[in-house]
């Protein structure tokens, strides 16, 4: 879901904003992976920045996947009048929620193969002393791009099976909402585009 906020000041302009966490997390991932590509992994001067952006991309990719899966799971359960189950499932692992969705749909889509990326993510999220070399040694652009392709493939198949988008499009929500008020004069969003 997204939240639409409308402000009607005393003047003649109406402000409409959309809070769309899933879309923002996707845009975060896009930003961080682009930044990681902009810095070479080898040179001492840019290697740390490359690693920083890879970590941020990895974490935001999994946060986005979790947000999308939670949105789908909530909508699916609500549609089948079982929304009460979401409170039990919402804190389960991403793997379990993916399994629940797929089992509920008898989906033919194969689960995303992101085990290696998840393992590296866990090295950072559940940090254990003496494992820094392992975490930094396994973190790579190729690892994250591979996981991104897997998530994207699976999400595309699930969008079709569920009949639900990954998230609402904020621009479309605003345009549809403000049609009666006039034209959009300023626009801003988390991807930096207009």
Residue 191 lies in a domain: no
Provide the pLDDT confidence category of residue 83 given band limits of 50, 70 and 90: confident
Q: Regarding predicted confidence, which is higher, 185 or 123? A: 123
Q: Domain tally for the chain?
A: 1
* Res 170 pLDDT > 90: no
Cβ distance 169 to 2 under 8 Å? Answer: no
Residue 78 lies in a domain: yes
Residue 77 lies in a domain: yes
Cβ distance 36 to 145 under 8 Å? Answer: no
Degrees, nearest 5: CA angle 96-65-49: 125
Residue by residue, DSSP assigns 21-38 as HHHHHHHHHHHHHHHHHH
Cβ distance 3 to 19 under 8 Å? Answer: yes
Q: What is the mean pLDDT of the chain?
A: 84
Residue 161 lies in a domain: yes
Provide the pLDDT confidence category of residue 58 given band limits of 50, 70 and 90: very high
Q: What is the DSSP letter of 40?
A: -
> Considering the chain, what percentage of its residues have pLDDT values greater than 90?
49
* Res 149 pLDDT > 80: yes
Residue 188 lies in a domain: no
Burial per residue of 147-156, b for 16 or more beta-carbon CB atoms within 10 angstroms, e otherwise: bbebbeebbe
Task: Find all residues with CB under 8 Å of 75, minimum gap 6, and list them.
Answer: 162, 164
Domain that includes residue 66, residue range: 58-166
Residue 42 lies in a domain: no
Provide the pLDDT confidence category of residue 143 given band limits of 50, 70 and 90: very high
Give the gyration radius of the chain's Cα atoms: 19
pLDDT digits (tens, 9 = 90+) for 8-30: 565 666 666 667 889 999 999 99
Mean pLDDT of 96-125: 90
Within 10 Å of residue 44's Cβ, how many Cβ atoms? Answer: 6
Mean pLDDT of 157-163: 90
Please tell me the distance from the alpha carbon of residue 118 to that of residue 47, in angstroms, as a whole number.
22
3-state helix, strand, coil in the chain (%, to 5): 65, 5, 30
Q: Regarding predicted confidence, which is higher, 115 or 167? A: 115
Residue 177 lies in a domain: no
Residue 193 lies in a domain: no
Cβ distance 47 to 53 under 8 Å? Answer: no
């Amino acid at each position: 879901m997204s939240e639409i906020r409308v402000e009607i000041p005393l003047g003649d302009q109406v402000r409409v904003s959309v809070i769309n966490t899933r879309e923002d997390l996707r845009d975060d991932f896009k930003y961080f992976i682009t930044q990681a590509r902009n810095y070479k992994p080898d040179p001492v001067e840019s290697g740390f920045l490359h690693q920083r952006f890879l970590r941020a991309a990895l974490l935001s990719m999994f946060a986005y996947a979790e947000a999308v899966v939670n949105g789908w799971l909530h909508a699916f359960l609500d549609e089948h009048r079982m929304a009460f189950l979401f409170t039990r499932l919402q804190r389960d692992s991403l793997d379990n929620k993916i399994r629940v969705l797929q089992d509920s749909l008898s989906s033919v889509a194969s689960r995303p193969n992101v085990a290696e990326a998840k393992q590296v993510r866990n090295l950072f999220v559940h940090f254990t002393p003496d494992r820094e070399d392992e975490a930094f040694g396994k973190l790579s652009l190729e690892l994250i791009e591979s996981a991104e392709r897997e998530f994207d493939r699976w999400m595309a198949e699930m969008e079709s099976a569920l009949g639900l988008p990954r998230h609402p499009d904020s621009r479309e929500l605003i345009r549809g909402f403000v049609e009666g008020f006039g034209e959009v004069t300023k626009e801003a969003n988390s991807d930096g585009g207009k």
